[in-house]
A and B are shown apart, each in its own frame.
Chain A
Amino acid sequence: MNIMAPVASSSTLDIDYLLCDPKEDETFPTFERRASSRELISKYNDEFVLKNTEKTYEQQYASLYFLRLTVLKPRVSKVAAEAWNGMSILNQEVKAVDRVLDVRQGEFCWIVGTVYIEMTLKPNILDEITKEFWTTAPISKDKFADPENDAIMLEDESGRVNLVGSTIKSELLVTGCVVAVLGSETTSGDFDVVDIRFPQLAPQLPRKMSTGHERKYVALVSGLEVSGDVHESYETSMLFEYLMGELGGSDDSKHASEIIHVIVAGNSFSNRRSPLSRDDESPDNFQKKKKKYGYDSSSYNSKPTEALDCLLADLSASVSVDIMPGDQDPTNYSYPQQPINAALVPRSRRFLGSSFRSVSNPCWWDIEGLRILGTGGQPIDDIFKYIEGDDRLQMMETCLRWQHCAPTAPDTLWSYPFRDCDPFILNETPHLFFAGNQPEFKTKIIVGEDGQRVRLVAVPKFSETGKVVLVDVDSLAAEVVTFALNGTGRD
């Protein structure tokens, strides 16, 4: 049989070898993954994992902002001082003012504080209660941003000042980021911003390059949304066959064997309810239903967990896997999300301690010297609501420049009220920064002032795109593998 690819001609031999009669003595290669180090950076991750005994909800969120400003203010000040000290505007030397409230009218100065954006469209508990009484139709809020009415303010321990000026409008700013602004106070009491500075990229550890020629990849996949029902998308099965090296020819298997680690970055479980359970929610049924204590199999759908467990257990035997929760997954909703309880995946958890881990969201890894910071995508999705446009990579990059991976927590991104530290502050710039569950695949490399190079990856939802991203541990090169059913992948 003659299989000719339209363009490819050199590799027809390879293509054909599975489309011929089996030969008696033919042997097929079996690949093994290279042993490699896949550590979690406990220095950072320990702060994300909250112990039940230590969780308290008596404190206010203010301390989180205070801690953030305390840590980031010196860093921003350093950048700002380098840029602005000794500078004069209108024959007036620029000076630093320590507190926001100490700014004098007409004097050019720079101040450091936390940005707060007053947004009319931001969810407000009082509004919600009012609406409940007056039954106003809820406004759909894909975005909170409303450039006409939003007011950007800068606050520190002393107070708040309203920021105005064209510079400030053009910058990407969200509530919670710590910045330095240069300008002067106007007669109306606003602060007219001339220039703005971020903390910039935190220091980065040097990457150790491997000496061998073998490539090593980290696979990033998010939004598997395994439902376990009959109409489960078949791409998921193909993905797991690929990762296990069964799908395709020997080149494909070899390539798959170069994947040393798989990170399942959030929303692995489908949150679609079965039609049955939806019926149960109707008031009639609810009345009829006998009250049950404990496990109620009619209201709990175990299929997604069972199906995912089977897939992960298969995969864990073949490659090391980390599962990170996303906003749909069965763990806490507020950030940082705690690792999914391994009891939900009883088959996979047999690989705990070797090739299966349940990790927090966000999470830091050190894989063969490659420092990775990953989130399930919630911080980026939340920043998206603050700004116009949809440049996810820019948002990710700005996060790194703010030295904070979840600035909108705890304002609009629900978060635990930390008292002792702000775990989302980045003391280090990772080599790979990814956000899961993004609408489409995007990637780029950014370079910092001190030569930091970071690969940014917006990992698309697998359930919608069928895409998994591979990142080369040594070269930081990204690759995409797409799984498609007949026609669905064609553009």
Chain B
Amino acid sequence: MVNDVCSNFLATRIVHGQEAMTYRLLSRELKIHTALAKQYLYAFHASSRSLYPHKVHATYIISGQKSPATTISGDVLMSDISSPPSTQPDTDVALEVEIVQTTFELVPEEELEEAKSTFRKIGSVHVYSLEPMRLPEDFITLAECGRKVRDIDLGQDPEAISKTYGVISEPSAKRQQLGQVAYAQPKSAAKNVQPKAPHPKPEVKQELSLSAKQRPVSKPSNKSSPFPVGATQNPDRLTTNEDETSSNNIKKQKLESPPPKKTTSPVMKSDATQSAVIKKSKSTIPTSRSSSQVSQELQTMFSSSEDENDEEEEGKSVRAGTETPKDVIGAIHESFISDDIDLSIDKTPAKPQGNNVKSEDIAMETAPPLEEPGEQMAYISPKKGAHRRGRRKVTKAIHTKDANGFLTTKYEEVWESYSESDEETISLSKPASTHSSTPIKRSSSPAPKKEKYVAGKKENGRKKKQAGGGQSSLMSFWNK
């Protein structure tokens, strides 16, 4: 019965569709073990001789040991695969046991017998693929099948792949669910950025709402914890790696710990975690409207300055959090989540900046309220009654003319009261004054880096903002 299905399938694809069909592709298409697929191919090929004469061509693969026509490097001979591992005499001479040489050879059916005669011992023979006509010498047509197999495999769990198709499984392999990687098409890479860009805000909102509403209590709080899974929403335990996902993790961490000091600018966020983000925006379902709106607002209002140092510090605090029992953190998160709207956010200034910063600020010829990030996490105060209002400490650059007539810049730390509505108007009216972070750089020594990157960062942020609300890429800015 299955065989009929299979025969029809193969007839459709090979005879009518003029496609090549490898055992791997067949196993993927029919969700069967590769060994069974090899048998199906053989059976179909056998039956096709009467049904579709000269319309189906087979390519075989032979594995085994070739006749000892060659020896390698003088000390090597071919031997039986089942020969026990040798124990060499402890001589300085390199002469040692024979070395097993297994060969896998792909041959068209016409040359099967001839090819087999070159083997001393054959381990296995099976039909590798069926195709409408003989394949070219380099078997390049088969690569297309490989691509199809990959496309089918891509969305599947490695464990399922292993079980269904008989792929050897690796117990330690853990794939991080970061969404699929969308490769930019060559030649249109710059254009590709644009369609992606318009979505970051809704995306962030979804992430937030997801974290607020859907996450279970065992909230991720360290690098090896699960975080919202875009594609599957599968709260599997994921083994993340610092190197790779720390940026993602840190961001998520920020979003999940609800009273964030400030979250990454949506613009930059979309840049930094573009691929992951795209997937998510496709697959996550927006839940609570009200909270997501708020989240979005928060996102906008806090999209002010941020730099690596910030990231670093957050990263550290995240790491430090690994020692805390998870459920405690979860509980803390929960309480924050419930407080989601009633955020009172404090900002602490960074340590006094060096001369670099001053001169850069002057060079920029603008005196935006320069907000410097301070220590994170310590200023979370989810007080009731602080509805939509908060106090934060910002560093302001004040330019004055001194006695000698020089322009001097002073940095003063000011506590300022603000509300979300204020922030929105500010950010709308003064787009240039908001700074975004550059894509996160990981470094173990944040302090010296910070100053180094300030200038580039600001500029970067400005450029982004100018280039159409930050949604376009850097390329589009230069093209203007």
Query: Which A residues are closer than 8 A to B by beta carbons?
Result: 1, 3, 5-8, 11, 14-16, 18-22, 26, 28-33, 35, 51-53, 215, 230-234, 237-238, 241-242, 244-253, 255-257, 292-295, 297-298, 301-303, 306, 309-310, 314, 316-320, 342, 346-347, 349-355, 393, 440-447, 451, 453, 472, 474-475, 477-487, 489-491
Asked if B125 is an interface residue, CB under 8 A from chain A, the answer is yes
- In the complex, which residues of chain A have a beta carbon less than 8 angstroms from the beta carbon of B278? none
- In the complex, which residues of chain B have a beta carbon less than 8 angstroms from the beta carbon of A349? 241, 244
The CB with the most chain A CB atoms within 10 A, among B76, B101, B106, is that of: B106
The answer to whether B244 and A342 have CB atoms under 8 Å apart is: yes
The answer to whether B240 and A353 have CB atoms under 8 Å apart is: yes
- In the complex, which residues of chain A have a beta carbon less than 8 angstroms from the beta carbon of B118? 490
Residue in B closest to A305 when the chains form the complex, CB atoms: B183
The answer to whether B34 and A246 have CB atoms under 8 Å apart is: yes
Interface size class on chain B is 35 or more
Assembled-state Cα–Cα distance A256/B121 (Å): 18
- In the complex, which residues of chain A have a beta carbon less than 8 angstroms from the beta carbon of B87? 475
Residue in A closest to B72 when the chains form the complex, CB atoms: A441
The answer to whether A447 and B63 have CB atoms under 8 Å apart is: no
- In the complex, which residues of chain A have a beta carbon less than 8 angstroms from the beta carbon of B116? 3, 5-6
The answer to whether A30 and B150 have CB atoms under 8 Å apart is: no
The answer to whether A249 and B162 have CB atoms under 8 Å apart is: no
Asked if B443 is an interface residue, CB under 8 A from chain A, the answer is yes
- In the complex, which residues of chain B have a beta carbon less than 8 angstroms from the beta carbon of A317? 158, 161-162, 167, 169-170, 173, 175
The answer to whether B140 and A486 have CB atoms under 8 Å apart is: no
Q: Given that A28-B166, A246-B167 are contacting pairs, would A486 and B137 also be in contact in the complex, using a CB cutoff of 8 Å? A: yes
- Choice from B24, B124, B473 contacting A248 with Cβ under 8 Å: B124
The answer to whether B104 and A32 have CB atoms under 8 Å apart is: no
- In the complex, which residues of chain A have a beta carbon less than 8 angstroms from the beta carbon of B46? 1, 21
Residue in A closest to B106 when the chains form the complex, CB atoms: A485
Contact residues of B between 435 and 460, Cβ < 8 Å to A = 443-445, 448-449
The answer to whether A318 and B189 have CB atoms under 8 Å apart is: no
Assembled-state Cα–Cα distance A252/B62 (Å): 11
- In the complex, which residues of chain B have a beta carbon less than 8 angstroms from the beta carbon of A306? 183
**Could you name 12 residue pairs across A and B whose Cβ atoms are closer than 8 Å?**
A5-B119, A31-B166, A33-B170, A253-B168, A294-B473, A295-B475, A301-B186, A319-B170, A347-B181, A354-B239, A475-B86, A485-B105
The answer to whether A444 and B168 have CB atoms under 8 Å apart is: no
- In the complex, which residues of chain B have a beta carbon less than 8 angstroms from the beta carbon of A451? 90
- In the complex, which residues of chain B have a beta carbon less than 8 angstroms from the beta carbon of A15? 122-125
Which 3 pairs of residues, A with B, have the shortest CB-CB distance? A249-B124, A353-B241, A475-B85
Assembled-state Cα–Cα distance A22/B30 (Å): 14
Assembled-state Cα–Cα distance A353/B174 (Å): 8
CB 8 Å contact bits of B150-178 with A (1 = contact, 0 = none):
10010000100111011111111111111
The answer to whether A215 and B85 have CB atoms under 8 Å apart is: yes
- In the complex, which residues of chain A have a beta carbon less than 8 angstroms from the beta carbon of B61? 238, 247-248
The answer to whether A22 and B105 have CB atoms under 8 Å apart is: no
The answer to whether A21 and B102 have CB atoms under 8 Å apart is: no
The answer to whether B138 and A443 have CB atoms under 8 Å apart is: no
Asked if B35 is an interface residue, CB under 8 A from chain A, the answer is yes
The answer to whether B3 and A350 have CB atoms under 8 Å apart is: no
The answer to whether A486 and B106 have CB atoms under 8 Å apart is: yes
Asked if B103 is an interface residue, CB under 8 A from chain A, the answer is yes
CB 8 Å contact bits of B34-67 with A (1 = contact, 0 = none):
1110111011001000000000000001011011
Assembled-state Cα–Cα distance A238/B92 (Å): 37
- Of the listed stretches B107-115, B305-313, B397-405, B411-419, chain A binds B107-115
The answer to whether B39 and A314 have CB atoms under 8 Å apart is: no
Residue in B closest to A240 when the chains form the complex, CB atoms: B146
Question: Nearest-CB distance from B76 to chain A (Å)?
Answer: 7
- Choice from A11, A22, A234 contacting B43 with Cβ under 8 Å: A22
Assembled-state Cα–Cα distance A29/B163 (Å): 10
- Choice from A19, A303, A475 contacting B127 with Cβ under 8 Å: A19
Asked if B96 is an interface residue, CB under 8 A from chain A, the answer is yes
Question: Nearest-CB distance from A449 to chain B (Å)?
Answer: 10
- In the complex, which residues of chain B have a beta carbon less than 8 angstroms from the beta carbon of A353? 174, 176, 239-242, 244
The CB with the most chain B CB atoms within 10 A, among A292, A295, A297, A309, is that of: A297
- Choice from B35, B165, B186 contacting A18 with Cβ under 8 Å: B35
The answer to whether B70 and A491 have CB atoms under 8 Å apart is: yes
Residue in B closest to A309 when the chains form the complex, CB atoms: B181
Assembled-state Cα–Cα distance A301/B475 (Å): 18
The answer to whether B146 and A237 have CB atoms under 8 Å apart is: yes
Assembled-state Cα–Cα distance A318/B86 (Å): 29
